[in-house]
Structure 1
Amino acid sequence: MRQELLSLPKTLAGDVARNLVMVAKLLDEDPEKAYGYSRVALRLASRVAAVREAAGFAAYAVGKYSEALAEFRAARRMTGSVELWPVMADCERGLGRPEKALAMAGEPEVQKLDRAGQVEMRLVAAGARRDMGQAEAAVVTLQSPELASSAVHPWTARLRYAYADALLEVGRADEARDWFARALEADQAGTTDASDRLAELDGVQFTDVLEESEDEAEPGSAEGPEKG
């Protein structure tokens, strides 16, 4: 990104960089604000691939899938890279075109992705299958050497979680519980709600102790005992 910004005048590059930093900082905690900063950066430097990519992810985060797809396509044209292929396919899902996403999973570009990218593409393809009502096919789609591996990678928790969720949809609850547990083991960053799904399957209910105490307290209970 820094290299790309060097093509801009120094002052302009600084302004664009500051907006991109805010996009990265806010994307998870406040995607609407991140989107706003991305639009500023886009107005300043629309011919920079990194800006188009950042604008795409910001639009994706707020559900503007058509806009996100356009930005990702622009970035890909500028760089020739295939790394955005999975998220482009997921935009097709967001636009209600799971068949298109599934078709993209079979394109030659997928073979050019690194291992992480291929896992992302598998997740998108499984999601497209579920969108199309093909729950059993989604289960099969997620079965892979990466799923079977005991090694933990940044994508491991999400892959195991998706598999557990797919198993649950086809009525294989016992297996689903096992895979939610495996997802939790790998989820060091807390990217999934695997612990909540496990508790739900085990019939565990959490009670807000503070709220319960307030409900049990009767009007006037803070007063002292009556004298008499």
Structure 2
Amino acid sequence: MPIPPEVTGDEIDDDVRQELMSLPKGLAEDVARNLVMVADLIDEDPEQAYAYSRIALRLASRVAAVREAAGFAAYATQKYSEALAEFRAARRMTGGVELWPVMADCERGMGRPERALAMAGEPEVQKLDKAGQVEMRLVAAGARRDMGQLEAAIVTLQSPELASSAVHPWTARLRYAYADALLAAERETEAREWFAKALEADKDGATDASDRLAELDGVEFVDAIDEDEDENDDVDGGRDGEPSGSVDVADETDVADDDQPDDRG
């Protein structure tokens, strides 16, 4: 697959570059360039990212960083069985536990929430850093919801991290998951409060909390194209000779959604 000439491979992280030093120089450069393409495309075009990851995997399947990248590319395209296999391979190579939450989430993706829940109780979880432990909590709550245990999911998300006023990279997603679970339990007032708190912490637009708040408040968004059509209808008197009754109500805050996090992840 073609790679833009401006992609040199030097863009990769130092730790990945260190791993690639075990390869011949030319091969290492080819692998690095493919890994850069995976990282650049995984959000906007996961299928293309997956294709580049397969090339890197074919070139250097014994490199842990390559197996991990292949795992995330497969995960992004919902190939959960394949992703789990790659994550397990990477973990065998490194001995680390960082991939434990996403491995559990792959179990959910494969329709095995009970396995994900079992993984949430394994000793590996205690070895995770704070971000990893929060991620594991999100996965466990999602597994509870998969199993129809909504109240248990709500309790799972109740934690010191949720109660804290400090804002971390994972704060918005944790608050959002809690709000979503409350709403599913028909606790609308509490859900609105936590969607607002999620929005407050969501500086990067990782969630669609603003849209969820708008829905709860009964705010209706009118697409710009529809607005233009309505204006034309007003000029022409409308299809039935009556002025259009559309009203455009704009939300004060517009936050775009990334990786919307489904319950998975």
TMscore range, shorter length: over 0.9
C-alpha deviation, 1:216, in angstroms: 5.1
> How far is 1:183 from its partner?
0.2
- Show the counterpart of 2:82: 67
Alignment partner, residue 40 of structure 1: 55
Structure 2, unpaired ranges of 5+: 1-15, 237-265
Aligned: 1:144 with 2:159:
yes
Q: How large is the Cα RMSD of the aligned pairs? A: 1.4
What is the rounded CA distance, in whole Å, between the counterparts of 1:46 and 1:200 in structure 2?
A: 47
Q: Determine if the alignment matches structure 1 residue 97 to structure 2 residue 118.
A: no
- Alignment identity in percent? 83
Are 2:213 and 1:198 equivalent residues in the alignment?
yes
* Equivalent residue for 1:21, pick from 24, 36, 58: 36
State the shift of 1:206 in Å. Answer: 1.1
Q: Give the distance between the partners of 1:217 and 1:85, measured in 2 at CA.
A: 55
Q: Which runs of 4+ in 1 moved over 2 A?
A: 215-218
Number of residue equivalences: 221
Structure 2 equivalent of residue 213 of structure 1: 228
Which structure's relative contact order is higher, taking Cα pairs within 8 Å and 6+ residues apart?
A: 2
Give the partner amino acid of 1:95.
M
Distance in 2 (CA, whole Å) between partners of 1:209 and 1:111 is 49
- SS of corresponding position for 1:162: helix
Cα distance in 1 for partners of 2:71, 2:109 equals: 14
Which residue pairs with 1:226 in the alignment? none
CA distance in structure 1 between the partners assigned to 2:45 and 2:225 by the alignment: 29
Distance in 2, matches of 1:205 and 1:32, equals 33
Q: TM-score, normalised by structure 2?
A: 0.81
Instruction: Give the structure with the higher percent helix.
Output: 1
**1:209 Cα offset (Å):** 4.7
Counterpart Cα distance in 2 of 1:52 and 1:143: 34
Residues of 2 paired with 1:49 and 1:212: CA distance?
51
> Cα distance, 1:213 vs. partner?
3.4
State the TM-score, normalized to the length of structure 1: 0.94
Structure 1 position 207, deviation (Å)? 1.6
Q: Could you tell me how far apart the structure 2 residues matched to 1:33 and 1:187 are?
A: 28
| Map of 1:225 onto structure 2 | none
- Quick one: which amino acid aligns to residue 201 of structure 1? L
Following TM superposition, by how much is the alpha carbon of 1:191 offset from its aligned partner in structure 2, in angstroms?
0.5
2:184 pairs, out of 150, 162, 169, with 169
For residues 70-129 of structure 1, give each alpha carbon's deviation from its aligned partner in whole angstroms, at most 9, with x where no partner exists.
000000000000000000000000000000000000000000000000000000000000
Range that drifts further, 40-49 or 203-212: 203-212
Stretches of structure 1 that go unaligned for 5 or more consecutive residues are 222-228
